[in-house]
Structure 1
Amino acid sequence: MTSGVVRWFPRNARSLATSSKNRRPEDCRWHHEAYGYFLPIQTRWQDNDQYGHVNNAVYYSYFDTVINHYLIRYCGLNTRLLTSSTVGFMVSNQCTYHTPISFPQIPVAALAVEKVGRSSVHYRLALFPPKPTKELPSIDHHDLSDGFFIGHPKLAQFNALACATGSSVHVFVNPATSKPMDLPEDFRGGLLKLMSPDSV
């Protein structure tokens, strides 16, 4: 489904992203080093809108995918509502668009944790496009099932500057009462592995 919204990124977005006089303190979020976990995302034909690039709303699904992939794979999140002891409610989402992506491309979604509270988790997110070559990034089954962490050589296939940056906040609740609950210690431990360096 397409949106009737006009272009959501400025025509000079690339120059804005690279101009030193336009940089702000949070611009570190635009670089690989600000993140700990990465997951390749295959764009889909349906992601494009009538302007020929991925529609702005779709980026939130990419961010949701990398968050939940990490929680399931590395924190032990049980997503079966009838047997899960904790359920995450997304209470805040934000995305800033810098340059467009389109189909067919394989960007990499990036995840860091900025804060772990008693029942809440604050995430830092980004999407890095592939470097402009004729070949799609070399991604295999393990990259899609496990993702990879900062320092992995496959990150060299992706631009060093993000095409989008964002943030999200999860609040974890008891599924029986929908009341916030303490995060389990092993779950918390998996999250702390992704604490961004400037958040410690």
Structure 2
Amino acid sequence: MTSWVLRLLPGGVRSLATSSKNQKVEDCHRYREAYGYFLPIQTRWQDNDQYGHVNNTVYYSYFDTIINHYLIRYCGLKTGLLTSPMVGFMVTNQCTFHRPVSFPQVPVAALAVEKVGHSSVHYRLALFPPEPTEEPPSVDHQDLSDGFFLGHPKLVHFAALACTTGSSVHVFVNPATSKPTGLPNDFRNGLLRLMHPASA
């Protein structure tokens, strides 16, 4: 019986080490420096659940918003089925909750690109709450229209540690055939702009 336990122990040790490594990666992803693009998100009254904070499922819509905002604004994504040469299907979504936000807070969503394949894109995402001050962060039309990139002075108004982190994978297909299609160079270059050392 003792030898049976000893044979199992190395596998368990590896499992613990892997878990520890994954936790360290997750911890790194909670910091602003792990992301390249940011977009203020206006929470809505209907986002709150009966516990007084944003419902878990709503965070996915925030992440969907920043992804598609960036693709339209900086990668040239066309959103009309009749005019677009490709359509993005979300095939994987994951979210980890560290602390809640609630209406009427205005957090900032964050986006990084971990991998760009032939027809797929792997994103890393986060949500940073506003700093707890008497005056909420000043968000204007240009912030909502353009977002901003790492290093922008307005980021100091948001917490350095994310309240939520997540990941998503897009697969782009030809709308006529629903088969994966290669990403155009301009589109790919816009995505590569958000590749970050923290994604390694």
Q: Secondary structure at the match of 2:154?
A: helix
Structural mapping, 1:26-175, within 5 Å: 26-175=26-175
The gaps in structure 1 that reach 5 residues or longer are 1-22
Paired residue type of 1:60: Y
Aligned equivalents of 1:199 and 1:165: distance in 2?
Answer: 13
Shift of 1:135: 1.5
Choose 1 or 2 for highest CA Rg.
2
- Taking the aligned partners of 2:135 and 2:56, their CA distance within structure 1 comes to 25
Paired residue secondary structure (1:24): helix
TM-score under structure 2 normalisation?
A: 0.87
User: 1-side partners of 2:187 and 2:58: how far apart?
Assistant: 28
Aligned partner of 2:191 in structure 1 is: 191
Root mean square deviation of aligned Cα: 0.9
SS at match of 1:112: strand
SS at match of 1:159: coil
Partner Cα separation in structure 2 for residue 187 and residue 81 of structure 1: 17
Deviation at 1:26, TM superposition (A): 2.6
* 1:161 counterpart SS class: coil
Amino acid paired to 2:112: A
What displacement does 1:196 show?
1.8
TM-score by length of 1: 0.87
**Post-superposition shift, 1:199?**
3.6
Identity in percent: 79
Count of matched residue positions in the alignment of Structure 1 and Structure 2: 178
